Amino acid sequence: MKWFPCILAWFAGLLFLTAATPAIEFTSSFESIKIDGRPGEVVNRDFQLHLVPGGKPVRFKARPEDWWASEDGSRSFYRPAGTLPHSCGPWISLNPVETTVETGGTLDIRVTAAIPREAGPGGYWCVLTVDEVPDPLDSPRGVAVRFLASVSVGIFINLAPVARVAEIREIELSQGIARLKVCNRGTTPISADGRLEFLPPGQRSGQVSPVASVVLSRITVLTDPVPCRLLTADLPDSSALPPGRYLVRVVLDIGIDHYLGVQKEMEVGGDRLAAAKSR
Amino acid sequence: MIASRRPRAARALALALGLLPALSAGPAAGTSPDTWRISIRGQDVTRAADPRVASGVLLLNVVALGPVLALVARTAGREVQVRDASGTDWRGTAGDSLLSSTGRSLSLERPIRIDGPSAYLPATTIAELAGLPVDLDSGTRTAAFADRDEPAPSGWQSLYLPKQPGLTNDGGSIQRRHQDIFLPPDHDTLRVGLGLGVVPGADAGGEFSAVGSVRGIDTALSLLGTTGPRGFELLSGHAQLADATRGVGLEAGDLFSGIWGLAYGARVRWRRGEEEGASWPAVSIYQGDPGIGNPTTVVSYSDEIGLGRWSTAAGELASDGSWLASGRFRRRRLSLFGYLRNASGSLANGRGSGLSGSLDLPLGLELQGALSRSGSGDRRLDEQTLSLRVPLRQGSALTLATDRFAIGQTRGQIESVEGITAFGRLQVQERWQWRESLFSGFLSTPAQHFTEHDLFTTASYLVGTRLRIEAQLIERWPEKSRRNEWRQLSAALPLWHGSSLQVFASSSSSIGVGSSFRVRFDQEIRPGFSLFVEAGDIVTFQSETQIGPPDTNRFRIMVRRSWDVATPAPGNGVEGFVGSSGSLATAGLPVELGPYRTVTHSDGRYAFPNVPPGDYDLHLNEKGLPADILAGPPARVRVKRGESQEANLSIVPLGEARGWVYVDRNGNHRRDPNEGIAGVVMILDDRATVTSPDGSFGFFNLPPGTHRIRVQADRLPPGLEALIPSRMDLGLPAGRSVGELEFRLQEKHKSLVFQEARK
């Protein structure tokens, strides 16, 4: 029976290894912080995160950093503040930087943007990243896996005048998916969303209801280092969009006084979707 | 011209483009529109553009075209202001050939023309401001502003799609900074009211009122006067001034005396103590009026004092020996009130006493009772009442009451049952009472016994949401006499906005009382100004001298006007500055004084004008301060009437302490890359943090002063130990950062002990 304590210890170790500390639960608006500022101005904003009651106290650490995303949006890149030429990270100060929030409490971070007097016009951006960190004075026993939360919200600062200009550069309808490439040709990041409409052919006005419509979810298109983003959406199935010839219209909203729009008549449906690629 | 051939289409286009005012106005008077046709992205906007030609140069109305071209243009006198598509603001004056912006200028082919709200610029300049190319063809007299340079993918056609309100992506919008300023009002307000009424052929009446505050003193003034057969009479008047800050009040005119009720005179009151709910003793002087109250002019003192938590005692003592004492008790479900009065004068009930009370019982039952005695001799009145209110379902209630009385030689008793209930929009109140009186006889008059039954019925019904009808019926059955009835029907209906029409009709079976009919109509002409007309059987202003029913077929017209008058504001200024221990900018910092808020000016000064007297907390709002600034201690400010206050605040810049924890593995006595140690707990005063993967750590937002920073030696990663010293005292100047703190660890060395192997 000498092997029995060994088996017992092995099971105990396995138990510790697989006992994961539950992730924290919290709520926040996650709305980007948008500031219309002037050089030399100091602007305050707040970021709040509410911990759902019932858990343990959570320690948070906050920092500003730079952010951009790959063209297809599948990857995000976070770098130290000041990496990008239009970073607002060096202008940002936070209070508190590191704090513990009791369960059911609120993390309330004062975000101050001190815009330098010499800053030129255009759009500047960075993100406020709030990481859950282990409590330095809490010494866990045994071996455990702990999932730590991390939240980032955008900070966008516009110094007038800014130009919001975008270009729909590529449109591709294939494999049941619509892909649009939108490029930022202005001086500030833009949010872009819109819709893809399929109208009966021969229409030149918007008075006729589309046969089908697809929503293009909102994305943020930066000015650099990746000034173009892909908007994708699933195309309707054949019951909603019978194969045939349609006037395909793209309507894009980038937050200016009018929509960006392009249209083209083409055969849509079945295998022809794959052929309806246009560059 | 498309606009002239298809006016409806042009109007629809104008509506869509927001140009209707410009189109409606048409060309300015005295001008001669040229025959140029103007289009923007293929849409005809000729009428809005109002084209003019000066020396061969086409001028267009930039104000009207602004919404279509994403320009913001307006005129201000002889100046035109234009915000171009890139957000740059330009200005120019009529007659100038130049638009100027900050450090920039734009030459024009022809001078600027200003014509009322319209401003005319060369078409090429407008195109430049809008960032659009324009194609001018003098042969066909057309000017076509092209589409924006929004290229489309090959094979796709570019579209211009104007937005409709409400369908916008807010991604481009910016949250505005909230300017949090809330100052005391810069003036007080007195609401003055004036009413005049005339009954043609009879008399007239007028009322004046002024209620509000003057320099923080509560002010109320009211006068009611009539003129008619008895000449001019001031029926009532009352003036009151109360200074809550100083705790002093003055009254004159119609007053209420606890001893005599209504009286004429003057009164001064003052507050005893500063706490909330403090009593207000008063000294009054009442003019003698034997008709209704005190026979001679008297001086009285009145006061109220608290007796424990639940009781108060009040009283009034007059110079002629009259007095009143009363007490009130209230605790939980029981409340009691009692009084004793000894009043001089002609009042029949000059002497009196009474005790009343109510008790809230379980199930919502309410029991009320009262005992009272007043007057003396043959005019003595004794009365005892007792009632029980029983609540029923859905707001209905039943009340049972009994009342016994004795006045002179007459004794009596009234028993009553009253019910109130509602059936949807119909509400009914019914009261039945039985009254029995016994006159015991006086001298040769024989004793008499009377009984009668009364039924009071009131019903109101709401028709729709506007018309309310109310009916009242009183029936009386005396024991030895004929049955009497009195009926009234009224209806109220708002005819249109601000109006109210009321109709009353009543009739009675009593001898000498006929039918009557009355109509009244109210109309608010504009806020604070209303007209009131009444016709039918109305009572005139001085009608109390009339005998018998009111005259019929009279009408009365009244106007009422009220308006607010600005009066001097109360209080005084509180001002000061926010000082900094460093070179921090102190502009725009949020300062709070009680409920009031403002921000500092560029020199760090702040000011709260017209602060009402009182005690206030003065402090900087931490939430509005920059993240790296700490507010200094708050201040307590007492604002007195007639004294300005100066109070200063301070801010302290916060600092940072950053450093590294490392192991000098290569022994060169300095920190090299890859020598940082992660996971080391660092303590600064009562704060703690952990080193990053590169061994760095930081403490932020530190107030200036001395801080002790150390390595938590008992939580070091395995195999490491701290070198002595493992802590340091850090003197942090205000707003400074210390960035190169270094803490060295070393690896624990255990000696290797070789043992001889057993054979």
Partner residue opposite A262 with nearest CB, options B159, B168, B174: B159
State the pLDDT confidence band at B162, using cuts at 50, 70 and 90: low
One-character DSSP codes across B210-241: EEEEETTEEEEEEEEEEEETTEEEEEEEEEEE
When pLDDT is averaged across residues B364-374 and rounded to a whole number, the result is 93
When pLDDT is averaged across residues B669-698 and rounded to a whole number, the result is 91
| Amino acid letter, residue B667 | G
* Alpha helices (H) in B373-432, listed in sequence order: none
State the pLDDT confidence band at B361, using cuts at 50, 70 and 90: very high
**pLDDT (0 to 100) of residue B23:** 33
**pLDDT (0 to 100) of residue B21:** 36
B327 near B313, Cβ under 8 Å? Answer: yes
* Lowest mean per-residue pLDDT among A49-53, B139-143, B381-385: B139-143
Beta carbons of A259 and B161 less than 8 Å apart: yes
Beta carbons of B157 and A46 less than 8 Å apart: no
Task: Convert the pLDDT of each residue in B475-508 to its tens digit.
Answer: 988 877 778 889 999 999 988 888 999 999 998 8
**pLDDT (0 to 100) of residue A131:** 93
B654 contacts in chain A (CB < 8 Å): 95
**pLDDT (0 to 100) of residue A274:** 44
**pLDDT (0 to 100) of residue B146:** 64
Collapse the DSSP code of B377 into the 3-class scheme (helix H, G, I; strand E, B; otherwise coil) and give the result. Answer: helix
State the pLDDT confidence band at B464, using cuts at 50, 70 and 90: confident
When pLDDT is averaged across residues B517-546 and rounded to a whole number, the result is 85
When pLDDT is averaged across residues A246-253 and rounded to a whole number, the result is 90
- Rounded Cα gap, residues B241 and B247, in angstroms: 11
Asked if the peptide bond before residue B725 counts as cis, ω within 30 degrees of 0, the response is yes
CA B500, chain centre distance (Å): 27
Task: Convert the pLDDT of each residue in B577-615 to its tens digit.
Answer: 998 876 667 788 899 999 999 988 888 899 999 998 889
Cα nearest neighbour of B622 on chain A: A110
**pLDDT (0 to 100) of residue B511:** 64
Q: Are strands B248-257 and B261-270 parallel, antiparallel or unpaired?
A: antiparallel
- Rounded Cα gap, residues B229 and B81, in angstroms: 68
Q: Are strands B516-526 and A33-37 parallel, antiparallel or unpaired?
A: unpaired
**pLDDT (0 to 100) of residue B42:** 59
Pick from A21, A277, A43: nearest CA to A146: A21
> What is the number of other CB atoms lying within 10 angstroms of the CB of residue B135?
11
Q: Is the pLDDT score of B644 beyond 80? A: yes
Residue B309 CB burial class (10 angstroms; 0-12, 13-18, ≥19):
exposed
Asked if the peptide bond before residue A161 counts as cis, ω within 30 degrees of 0, the response is yes
Task: Convert the pLDDT of each residue in B239-285 to its tens digit.
Answer: 999 998 888 999 999 998 888 888 899 999 999 887 777 889 999 99
What phi and psi, each to the nearest 5 degrees, are found at residue B396? -80, 155
Partner residue opposite A158 with nearest CB, options B174, B177, B626: B174
**pLDDT (0 to 100) of residue B747:** 85
* Lowest mean per-residue pLDDT among A108-112, A199-203, B219-223, B745-749: A199-203
The minimum CA-CA distance between B173 and chain A, rounded to whole Å, is: 7
Mapping DSSP onto H, E and C, the string for chain A reads CCHHHHHHHHHHHHHHHHCEECCCCEECCCCCEEEEECCCCEEEEEEEEEECCCCCCEEEEEEEEEEEECCCCCCEEEEECCCCCCECHHHEEEECCEEEECCCCEEEEEEEEECCCCCCCEEEEEEEEEEEECCCCCCCCCCCEECCCEEEEEEEEEECCCCCCEEEEEEEEECCEEEEEEEECCCCCEEEEEEEEEECCCCCCCCCCCCEEEEEEEEEECCCCCCEEEEEEECCCCCCCCCEEEEEEEEEECCCCEEEEEEEEEEECCCHHHHCEEC
User: What's the predicted TM-score (pTM) here?
Assistant: 0.59
**pLDDT (0 to 100) of residue A270:** 59
- How far, CA to CA in Å, does A199 sit from each of A212, A240, A250? 7, 12, 11
Cα nearest neighbour of A165 on chain B: B150
A33 contacts in chain B (CB < 8 Å): 175
Pick from B553, B557, B562: nearest CA to B541: B557
Interface of A with B in 184-203 (CB under 8 A): 190-193
Q: Is the pLDDT score of B469 beyond 50? A: yes
**Chain A within 8 Å of B179 (Cβ-Cβ)?**
no
CA B694, chain centre distance (Å): 57
Mean pLDDT of chain B: 84
Percentage of residues of chain A with pLDDT beyond 70:
84
Q: Is the pLDDT score of A220 beyond 90? A: yes
One-character DSSP codes across B719-742: TEEEPSP-EEEEEE-TT-EEEEEE
Mapping DSSP onto H, E and C, the string for B16-75 reads HHCCHHHHHHCCCCCCCCCCCEEEECCEECHHHHCCEEECCEEEEEHHHHHHHHCCEEEE
Q: Is the pLDDT score of B169 beyond 60? A: no
**pLDDT (0 to 100) of residue B281:** 95
CA A268, chain centre distance (Å): 31
When pLDDT is averaged across residues B391-405 and rounded to a whole number, the result is 91
Asked if the peptide bond before residue B391 counts as cis, ω within 30 degrees of 0, the response is no
The minimum CA-CA distance between B732 and chain A, rounded to whole Å, is: 18
**pLDDT (0 to 100) of residue B16:** 37
Percentage of residues of chain B with pLDDT beyond 70:
87
User: Where would I find the beta strands (DSSP E) of B320-380?
Assistant: 323-331, 334-342, 351-360, 366-374
**pLDDT (0 to 100) of residue B177:** 40
- How far, CA to CA in Å, does B26 sit from each of B32, B40, B48, B49, B71? 11, 18, 7, 10, 21
State the pLDDT confidence band at B25, using cuts at 50, 70 and 90: very low
Question: For residues B238 and B38, which has the higher predicted lDDT (pLDDT)?
Answer: B238
A261 contacts in chain B (CB < 8 Å): 158-161
Mean pLDDT of chain A: 83
Q: Is the pLDDT score of A97 beyond 90? A: yes
- Rounded Cα gap, residues B425 and B461, in angstroms: 6
State the pLDDT confidence band at B700, using cuts at 50, 70 and 90: very high
Q: Is the pLDDT score of B41 beyond 70? A: no
Task: Quote the ipTM score.
Answer: 0.76
Beta carbons of A36 and B174 less than 8 Å apart: yes
> What is the number of other CB atoms lying within 10 angstroms of the CB of residue B486?
16
Q: Is the pLDDT score of B175 beyond 50? A: no
Query: Count of alpha carbons within 13 Å of B42, Cβ hemisphere only?
Result: 5
What phi and psi, each to the nearest 5 degrees, are found at residue B392? -115, -165
**Chain A within 8 Å of B448 (Cβ-Cβ)?**
no
Query: Count of alpha carbons within 13 Å of A24, Cβ hemisphere only?
Result: 26
What phi and psi, each to the nearest 5 degrees, are found at residue B69? -100, 10
* Lowest mean per-residue pLDDT among A132-141, B14-23, B71-80, B193-202: B14-23
